[in-house]
Amino acid sequence: MEQGSVTFDRRQVFRPFLSRINPASPGALGAQNLIVPPEHDPHDPDQPPIHVAFANATELTRGVQTALVGGIGSGKTTELWLTAKLLKRHKDAINITIDLAEITDLNELNPGALLIAIGMRLYFRIKKPERSADVGLAYQKLQELANGTTKWVEPDESEYPDVDDLHDAPALVKIHTPGLLKPRFPAIERQVAEVQSLVSAIAEPLVASDAQITVLIDGLDRLIVPEKFREFAEQDLRALRDFPISVILAAPLLLWFDKSRFLQDYFDDVKHIPTAISDPEKSDFLNQVLLRRGAADLMNEHEITELSRFSGGVLRDLITLARTSAEVAYREDKDRIESTHVRSAVRQLGKRYLVGLGRTQRRRIRLLMDDEGFLVGDPVSRELLVNRQVLEHFSNGRDSFAVHPALAEESS
């Protein structure tokens, strides 16, 4: 190499973009000012954005419980992060952010487990000098309930009576007469009630200081079976109702379409994030997301618009398409992302959605592409919706459904 010549390192072209486009967490995005906050409620342009509505409700009503529903990759975690950030404008705000997947196996979630997690987090928000003996004891008991205990005891012979004696013992037959008044929600289990009293003891100093306590729970939306979410809400969340502690959580999308209307019945407020408007002529939100993360350095407006359009309004897919396009361009020794690279990324995403589709699902997708309707009630349709092969949109006051544009492109 000649002395003084400059070597052009193409990695330095793509690396900054890729690190901006897909940081580790919304917190990292926020720290770099890379989040484009929505300007209004996706269901009503005259209403404030979801994070503002949630923050206001929490600030004004202690103990309010709200839920956020949206499909995979729709931006629920970011909304929760924005809400938490806004709540911090008050000095007495105590935000407890919990991602359940970090704590426990969601598939084995026992009633009371979340309440325990909340109690333990609350404990660490009490300043050490203010932790009374009662608070310490409650925390210790909570830990025992969380981790279980092992005791060694002498065997008690009376527990093992002779088999013959059993025949003489009076048999108790359970006769249950159902009540006339059916409760809205089942009774809180005894173990959950025990956790509830311990959490109450721990929370007492914080509650007494009149702090604005909010628990933000992420991860429950990953429970694909809505019944599990329901069980948890009916026990842990209802046990929290007695406290001036607000709850904001992410819930599974399928509950939004559930005929029982459990979400709407149980929660004080429920917000839905549908897929974002992907037609740049109607909204430039998705384009702005890309521009904020440096897309203009690597591609022209046409490519940005194509990425937005083929994302179908799914934020995670928008990011995936941008990242894949950059990787394709790099592989092809280009310094900028061109239309062919975007197309290649769209094909890749479309193939990902295509894998695993059986004949019935493909027929359902074909029907939807031919405008022959989509019934959200049946299991095949619900699976397509959860897997994002079919996307839910909201416009003009009603839900509508469409095949993911990357999948539609690949299917056609």
Partner 1 sequence: MFLLIHADGEQPAVEADLQAEAEVQLGSRLPTGPVSDLLNEPGGLELNDRNPIRVLRIDRWSPELVALLDTHVIRLERSRAQFLFLTTDKLSEQLLGAAPNFRSRLTEVLRILPDDVQGGALE
Which residues make up the interface to partner 1 (CB under 8 A)?
24-25, 72-73, 99, 101-102, 105-107, 219, 222-224, 316, 320, 324, 348, 351-352, 355-356, 358, 383, 386-388
Q: Which is nearer to partner 1, 117 or 245 (CB)?
A: 117
The two tokens of residue 160 are: 């093992």
In contact, 139 and 123? CB cutoff 8 Å:
yes
Q: Which is nearer to partner 1, 56 or 411 (CB)?
A: 411
Q: Which is nearer to partner 1, 35 or 315 (CB)?
A: 315
Residue 142's H or E segment, with its range, is helix 133-147
Q: Which is nearer to partner 1, 64 or 250 (CB)?
A: 250
Parallel/antiparallel/unpaired status of strands 398-403 and 390-395: antiparallel
Q: Which is nearer to partner 1, 37 or 73 (CB)?
A: 73
Closest distance between partner 1 and the C-beta of residue 224, in Å? 6
Q: Which is nearer to partner 1, 141 or 222 (CB)?
A: 222
Closest CA to 19 of 364, 11, 309: 11
Closest distance between partner 1 and the C-beta of residue 137, in Å? 28
Q: Which is nearer to partner 1, 317 or 338 (CB)?
A: 317
Q: Which residues contact 280 (CB under 8 A, 6 or more apart)?
A: 286, 287, 305, 308, 309
Q: What residue ranges in 23-84 does DSSP mark as E strands?
A: 65-70
Q: Which is nearer to partner 1, 183 or 358 (CB)?
A: 358
In contact, 307 and 406? CB cutoff 8 Å:
no
Parallel/antiparallel/unpaired status of strands 212-218 and 390-395: unpaired
Closest distance between partner 1 and the C-beta of residue 193, in Å? 27
Closest CA to 376 of 396, 401, 411: 401
Closest distance between partner 1 and the C-beta of residue 102, in Å? 7
Distance CA 228, CA 251 (A): 11
Question: Can you name the residues that pair with 394 across neighbouring β-strands?
Answer: 399
Distance CA 316, CA 388 (A): 11
Q: Which is nearer to partner 1, 129 or 358 (CB)?
A: 358
Closest distance between partner 1 and the C-beta of residue 54, in Å? 22
SS3 264: helix
Q: Any idea what DSSP says for residue 340?
A: H
Closest distance between partner 1 and the C-beta of residue 282, in Å? 25
Closest distance between partner 1 and the C-beta of residue 108, in Å? 9
Question: Can you name the residues that pair with 391 across neighbouring β-strands?
Answer: 402
Q: Which is nearer to partner 1, 238 or 388 (CB)?
A: 388
Closest distance between partner 1 and the C-beta of residue 241, in Å? 26
Four-CA torsion 265, 269, 273, 277, nearest 10 degrees: 110
**Is the dihedral angle over the CA atoms 109, 113, 115, 120 positive or is it negative?**
negative
Buried-state track 219-246, b at ≥16 Cβ within 10 A, e below 16: bbbebbebeebbbbbbbbbbbbeebbbb
Closest distance between partner 1 and the C-beta of residue 408, in Å? 17
Residue type at position 320:
T
Closest distance between partner 1 and the C-beta of residue 355, in Å? 5
Residue 98's H or E segment, with its range, is strand 93-99
